[in-house]
Amino acid sequence: MKRFSAVLSVIAVATLAIALNPAPEAAPAFSLTNAEGKTVSLDQFKGKYVVLEWWNNGCPVVGRHYRSGNIPKLQAEMKAKDVVWVSIVSSAPGKQGHVDTTNARSTMEKNKGVPSEILLDPTGAVGKLYEAKTTPQMVLISPKGELLYNGAIDSNRTGNQAPEEVVNYLTKAHEEAVAGKPISTPRTQPYGCAVKYGS
């Protein structure tokens, strides 16, 4: 009887784990105008890892990651590993962080950012499609178009963590995927400013 109930609870825990950590789903397709005014669609990056970064240049939390050089460094490192880094702006016109083709790239350059693409999502449709709640928020998509990670950039929610304690969930997911391992943390609660969607 004891063994029976132990088996039952193992099954229950396993079911729970599956319910809470489902297999990767397909990353929703989208196309948006980039900072240079051209249309860019997600499927043109098939065959490469893609990072989506929700960006609001006025958000203090985003500012912390740019001023410290953290995000620019990640952008350069990931691009060097043949990853496509896409910064997406879902701020509505008139709201904090909104940029258009006239100032998106220059604003990013002022922040020393070097993403592969800056995509403009003024209606917020793509942000909502990916459940983007905050800036920054990071998504990792596999070369096959699977959603591997969606959540916080790292564990340093208040900015007070010691550098050696900080876990970067994005690079961790990428390293695990490249090594053929399952993603240990496919979702985390993002932190930062609420995405400034229009109403």
Locate 144 and state its tokens: 């096959």
| Residue closer to another protein (CB basis): 134 or 171 | 134
125 binds another protein (CB under 8 A): no
Q: Kindly provide the b/e burial profile for residues 141-164, where b requires at least 16 CB atoms within 10 angstroms of the residue's own CB.
A: bbeebebbbbbbbbebeeeeeeee
| Residue closer to another protein (CB basis): 116 or 156 | 156
* Cβ at position 100, least distance to another protein in Å: 17
- 115 burial (CB, 10 Å; 0-12 / 13-18 / 19+) is buried
Q: Which region among 34-42, 47-55, 100-108, 154-162 touches another protein (by CB under 8 A)?
A: 154-162
CA gap 140, 83 in Å, rounded: 10
- 182 burial (CB, 10 Å; 0-12 / 13-18 / 19+) is exposed
Crossing angle between the packed helical segments 60-67 and 70-80, to the nearest 10 degrees: 60
| Residue closer to another protein (CB basis): 85 or 191 | 191
| Residue closer to another protein (CB basis): 21 or 103 | 21
162 binds another protein (CB under 8 A): no
Name, in order, each residue with C-beta under 8 angstroms of 53's C-beta and a sequence gap of 6 or more: 71, 85, 86, 87, 88, 115, 136, 137, 138
Question: What DSSP character marks residue 182?
Answer: P
Residues in 83-122 that interact with another protein by CB under 8 A: 94-96
Q: Which x/- pattern over 55-84 shows residues binding another protein (rule: CB under 8 A)?
A: ---xxxx-xx--------------------
Which stretches within 30-138 are classed as H helix? 60-67, 70-80, 104-110, 125-129
138 binds another protein (CB under 8 A): no
| Residue closer to another protein (CB basis): 5 or 38 | 5
* Cβ at position 142, least distance to another protein in Å: 20
145 binds another protein (CB under 8 A): no
182 binds another protein (CB under 8 A): no
Query: Quick check: helix, strand or coil at residue 54?
Result: strand
Binding site for another protein (CB under 8 A): 8-9, 12-13, 16-17, 19-21, 58-61, 63-64, 94-96, 133-134, 151, 157-160, 185, 187-197, 199
